[in-house]
Structure 1
Protein backbone atom coordinates (compact mmCIF):
# COMPACT_ATOMS: atom_id res chain seq x y z
CA UNK A 1 0.00 0.00 0.00
CA UNK A 2 1.40 3.39 -1.05
CA UNK A 3 0.71 6.66 0.74
CA UNK A 4 -1.09 9.50 -0.95
CA UNK A 5 1.06 12.32 -2.33
CA UNK A 6 -0.63 14.62 0.22
CA UNK A 7 0.15 12.40 3.20
CA UNK A 8 2.80 13.33 5.74
CA UNK A 9 5.96 11.22 5.66
CA UNK A 10 8.09 10.05 8.56
CA UNK A 11 11.82 10.58 8.36
CA UNK A 12 12.25 6.86 7.65
CA UNK A 13 9.79 6.94 4.76
CA UNK A 14 11.37 10.03 3.22
CA UNK A 15 14.88 8.68 3.68
CA UNK A 16 13.88 5.45 1.95
CA UNK A 17 12.17 7.35 -0.87
CA UNK A 18 15.31 9.45 -1.47
CA UNK A 19 17.71 6.55 -0.93
CA UNK A 20 19.52 8.42 1.84
CA UNK A 21 20.27 7.68 5.50
CA UNK A 22 18.07 9.47 8.03
CA UNK A 23 20.99 11.38 9.53
CA UNK A 24 21.47 13.20 6.21
CA UNK A 25 17.93 14.57 6.41
CA UNK A 26 18.57 15.70 10.00
CA UNK A 27 21.78 17.39 8.84
CA UNK A 28 19.94 19.15 6.01
CA UNK A 29 17.49 20.56 8.57
CA UNK A 30 20.46 22.31 10.24
CA UNK A 31 21.75 23.70 6.95
CA UNK A 32 18.51 24.65 5.19
CA UNK A 33 16.13 26.68 7.39
CA UNK A 34 13.41 26.22 4.76
CA UNK A 35 13.29 22.50 5.58
CA UNK A 36 11.27 22.34 8.81
CA UNK A 37 9.21 19.20 9.33
CA UNK A 38 6.63 19.06 12.08
CA UNK A 39 8.02 17.56 15.27
CA UNK A 40 5.76 15.70 17.62
CA UNK A 41 6.31 14.02 20.97
CA UNK A 42 9.67 12.32 21.21
CA UNK A 43 10.99 14.55 18.40
CA UNK A 44 9.26 12.40 15.80
CA UNK A 45 9.48 14.19 12.46
CA UNK A 46 6.63 14.43 9.98
CA UNK A 47 7.42 15.87 6.58
CA UNK A 48 4.59 17.74 4.84
CA UNK A 49 4.23 17.48 1.04
CA UNK A 50 6.05 20.83 0.67
CA UNK A 51 8.91 19.51 2.85
CA UNK A 52 9.08 16.36 0.72
CA UNK A 53 9.28 18.46 -2.47
CA UNK A 54 12.00 20.63 -0.95
CA UNK A 55 14.00 17.60 0.23
CA UNK A 56 13.76 16.13 -3.27
CA UNK A 57 14.97 19.40 -4.76
CA UNK A 58 17.89 19.60 -2.31
CA UNK A 59 18.79 15.98 -3.08
CA UNK A 60 18.70 16.64 -6.84
CA UNK A 61 20.84 19.77 -6.55
CA UNK A 62 23.42 18.21 -4.23
CA UNK A 63 23.64 14.64 -5.47
CA UNK A 64 22.78 14.86 -9.14
CA UNK A 65 23.65 18.38 -10.29
CA UNK A 66 26.81 18.71 -8.18
CA UNK A 67 26.01 21.84 -6.17
CA UNK A 68 27.68 22.43 -2.82
CA UNK A 69 25.75 23.03 0.40
CA UNK A 70 26.51 26.78 0.12
CA UNK A 71 25.42 26.80 -3.51
CA UNK A 72 22.07 25.19 -2.68
CA UNK A 73 21.61 27.59 0.24
CA UNK A 74 22.08 30.53 -2.13
CA UNK A 75 19.65 29.08 -4.67
CA UNK A 76 16.99 28.53 -2.03
CA UNK A 77 17.47 32.01 -0.53
CA UNK A 78 17.20 33.64 -3.97
CA UNK A 79 14.15 31.61 -4.97
CA UNK A 80 12.03 31.91 -1.82
CA UNK A 81 13.16 34.93 0.24
CA UNK A 82 9.67 35.60 1.60
CA UNK A 83 8.34 32.04 1.51
CA UNK A 84 7.06 30.41 4.63
CA UNK A 85 8.34 26.93 5.57
CA UNK A 86 5.00 25.47 4.48
CA UNK A 87 5.27 27.02 1.03
CA UNK A 88 6.50 24.71 -1.69
CA UNK A 89 9.85 25.69 -3.16
CA UNK A 90 8.29 25.81 -6.63
CA UNK A 91 5.40 28.09 -5.59
CA UNK A 92 5.85 31.63 -6.97
CA UNK A 93 5.91 34.49 -4.48
CA UNK A 94 3.11 37.03 -4.25
CA UNK A 95 5.35 39.70 -5.79
CA UNK A 96 6.13 37.42 -8.73
CA UNK A 97 2.43 36.70 -9.28
CA UNK A 98 1.65 40.43 -9.25
CA UNK A 99 4.41 41.05 -11.78
CA UNK A 100 2.99 38.36 -14.08
CA UNK A 101 -0.51 39.78 -13.71
CA UNK A 102 0.73 43.26 -14.69
CA UNK A 103 2.52 41.84 -17.74
CA UNK A 104 -0.65 40.02 -18.84
CA UNK A 105 -2.80 43.12 -18.34
CA UNK A 106 -0.35 45.15 -20.43
CA UNK A 107 -0.39 42.52 -23.17
CA UNK A 108 -4.20 42.56 -23.22
CA UNK A 109 -4.23 46.35 -23.53
CA UNK A 110 -1.80 46.16 -26.47
CA UNK A 111 -3.96 43.54 -28.19
CA UNK A 112 -7.08 45.69 -27.72
CA UNK A 113 -5.42 48.74 -29.29
Structure 2
Protein backbone atom coordinates (compact mmCIF):
# COMPACT_ATOMS: atom_id res chain seq x y z
CA UNK A 1 0.00 0.00 0.00
CA UNK A 2 1.45 3.32 -1.01
CA UNK A 3 0.41 6.35 0.99
CA UNK A 4 -0.84 9.33 -0.99
CA UNK A 5 0.21 12.54 0.72
CA UNK A 6 -1.17 15.78 -0.68
CA UNK A 7 0.75 18.11 1.61
CA UNK A 8 3.46 19.32 -0.77
CA UNK A 9 6.25 17.73 1.29
CA UNK A 10 9.08 15.74 -0.22
CA UNK A 11 8.52 11.96 -0.38
CA UNK A 12 11.26 11.42 2.22
CA UNK A 13 9.84 13.95 4.68
CA UNK A 14 8.77 13.08 8.20
CA UNK A 15 5.00 12.87 8.69
CA UNK A 16 2.89 13.45 11.76
CA UNK A 17 0.53 10.77 13.03
CA UNK A 18 -2.38 12.84 11.73
CA UNK A 19 -0.90 12.99 8.22
CA UNK A 20 -0.26 9.22 8.19
CA UNK A 21 -3.73 8.56 9.58
CA UNK A 22 -5.36 10.64 6.86
CA UNK A 23 -3.24 9.25 4.00
CA UNK A 24 -3.77 5.58 4.94
CA UNK A 25 -7.30 6.00 6.33
CA UNK A 26 -6.32 4.48 9.68
CA UNK A 27 -7.42 6.12 12.91
CA UNK A 28 -4.69 7.62 15.09
CA UNK A 29 -5.59 5.46 18.10
CA UNK A 30 -5.09 2.36 15.92
CA UNK A 31 -1.65 3.61 14.88
CA UNK A 32 -0.69 4.18 18.52
CA UNK A 33 -1.94 0.69 19.41
CA UNK A 34 0.04 -0.86 16.56
CA UNK A 35 3.16 0.87 17.90
CA UNK A 36 2.66 -1.15 21.09
CA UNK A 37 1.99 -4.42 19.25
CA UNK A 38 4.72 -4.15 16.61
CA UNK A 39 8.10 -3.35 18.19
CA UNK A 40 9.58 -2.68 14.76
CA UNK A 41 7.17 0.25 14.31
CA UNK A 42 8.99 3.02 16.14
CA UNK A 43 8.31 6.51 14.83
CA UNK A 44 10.53 9.30 16.09
CA UNK A 45 9.17 11.03 19.17
CA UNK A 46 10.01 14.66 19.82
CA UNK A 47 9.29 16.90 22.74
CA UNK A 48 5.82 16.49 24.12
CA UNK A 49 5.64 12.96 22.69
CA UNK A 50 4.77 14.18 19.19
CA UNK A 51 5.29 11.35 16.69
CA UNK A 52 7.05 11.71 13.36
CA UNK A 53 6.83 8.83 10.92
CA UNK A 54 9.73 8.18 8.55
CA UNK A 55 8.95 6.83 5.06
CA UNK A 56 9.92 3.29 6.21
CA UNK A 57 7.50 3.64 9.15
CA UNK A 58 4.71 4.63 6.77
CA UNK A 59 5.53 1.62 4.56
CA UNK A 60 5.44 -0.68 7.60
CA UNK A 61 2.06 0.72 8.65
CA UNK A 62 0.82 -0.01 5.12
CA UNK A 63 2.09 -3.60 5.38
CA UNK A 64 0.43 -4.09 8.76
CA UNK A 65 -2.84 -2.68 7.42
CA UNK A 66 -2.73 -4.95 4.38
CA UNK A 67 -1.98 -8.06 6.46
CA UNK A 68 -4.54 -7.38 9.18
CA UNK A 69 -7.39 -5.65 7.35
CA UNK A 70 -7.17 -7.09 3.84
CA UNK A 71 -5.58 -10.54 4.22
CA UNK A 72 -7.20 -11.39 7.55
CA UNK A 73 -4.09 -11.97 9.66
CA UNK A 74 -4.31 -11.69 13.42
CA UNK A 75 -1.94 -9.17 15.00
CA UNK A 76 0.28 -12.04 16.17
CA UNK A 77 0.21 -13.58 12.68
CA UNK A 78 1.04 -10.23 11.09
CA UNK A 79 3.96 -9.81 13.52
CA UNK A 80 5.30 -13.21 12.49
CA UNK A 81 4.78 -12.55 8.78
CA UNK A 82 6.70 -9.27 9.02
CA UNK A 83 9.46 -10.89 11.09
CA UNK A 84 9.73 -13.66 8.48
CA UNK A 85 9.68 -11.17 5.60
CA UNK A 86 6.41 -12.60 4.24
CA UNK A 87 4.46 -9.41 3.72
CA UNK A 88 3.38 -10.02 0.14
CA UNK A 89 0.34 -11.95 -0.97
CA UNK A 90 -0.27 -15.14 0.97
CA UNK A 91 1.00 -18.14 -1.02
CA UNK A 92 -1.32 -21.04 -1.69
CA UNK A 93 0.11 -24.17 -0.04
CA UNK A 94 1.16 -26.98 -2.36
CA UNK A 95 -0.94 -30.15 -2.20
CA UNK A 96 0.56 -32.82 0.06
CA UNK A 97 -0.85 -35.78 -1.84
CA UNK A 98 -1.68 -36.70 -5.39
CA UNK A 99 -5.26 -35.85 -6.41
CA UNK A 100 -7.74 -38.72 -6.48
CA UNK A 101 -9.58 -39.65 -9.64
CA UNK A 102 -12.80 -38.41 -8.03
CA UNK A 103 -11.27 -34.98 -7.53
CA UNK A 104 -12.72 -33.58 -10.75
CA UNK A 105 -16.22 -34.78 -9.99
CA UNK A 106 -18.84 -32.06 -9.66
CA UNK A 107 -19.13 -30.69 -6.17
CA UNK A 108 -22.79 -29.69 -6.19
CA UNK A 109 -22.79 -28.84 -2.49
CA UNK A 110 -19.99 -26.30 -3.03
CA UNK A 111 -20.81 -24.47 -6.21
CA UNK A 112 -23.88 -25.74 -7.98
CA UNK A 113 -22.97 -27.92 -10.97
CA UNK A 114 -19.50 -26.47 -11.51
CA UNK A 115 -16.53 -28.86 -11.23
CA UNK A 116 -14.00 -28.15 -8.50
CA UNK A 117 -10.39 -28.24 -9.76
CA UNK A 118 -8.36 -31.27 -8.69
CA UNK A 119 -5.66 -29.17 -7.02
CA UNK A 120 -8.23 -27.46 -4.78
CA UNK A 121 -9.67 -30.82 -3.73
CA UNK A 122 -6.15 -32.11 -3.00
CA UNK A 123 -5.37 -29.06 -0.88
CA UNK A 124 -8.61 -29.43 1.07
CA UNK A 125 -7.91 -33.11 1.70
CA UNK A 126 -4.43 -32.20 2.95
CA UNK A 127 -5.90 -29.64 5.32
CA UNK A 128 -8.46 -32.17 6.56
CA UNK A 129 -5.69 -34.73 7.19
CA UNK A 130 -3.61 -32.18 9.12
CA UNK A 131 -6.62 -31.19 11.22
CA UNK A 132 -7.44 -34.82 12.00
CA UNK A 133 -3.82 -35.46 13.00
CA UNK A 134 -3.83 -32.39 15.23
CA UNK A 135 -6.99 -33.55 16.99
CA UNK A 136 -5.48 -36.98 17.65
CA UNK A 137 -2.33 -35.50 19.18
Q: TM-score range by the shorter chain?
A: 0.5 to 0.7
Match of 2:101 in 1: none
State how many pairs are aligned.
82
Match of 1:65 in 2: 71
1:48 to 54, 62, 70: 54
CA RMSD, 1 decimal: 1.9
Structure 1 stretches (4+) deviating beyond 6 angstroms? Answer: none
For residues 11-64 of structure 1, give each alpha carbon's deviation from its aligned partner in whole angstroms, at most 9, with x where no partner exists: 000001111110000000000001000000000000001101100111111111
**Structure (1 or 2) with the greater helix fraction:** 1
Structure whose CA Rg is larger: 2
Show structure 1 runs of 5+ residues with no match.
81-88, 91-113
The TM-score with structure 2 as length reference comes to 0.56
Distance, in Å, in 2 between the alignment partners of 1:67 and 1:3 is 33
Larger RCO of the pair (alpha carbons < 8 Å, separation 6+): 1
The TM-score with structure 1 as length reference comes to 0.67
Distance, in Å, in 1 between the alignment partners of 2:74 and 2:10 is 32
Show structure 2 runs of 5+ residues with no match.
1-6, 89-137
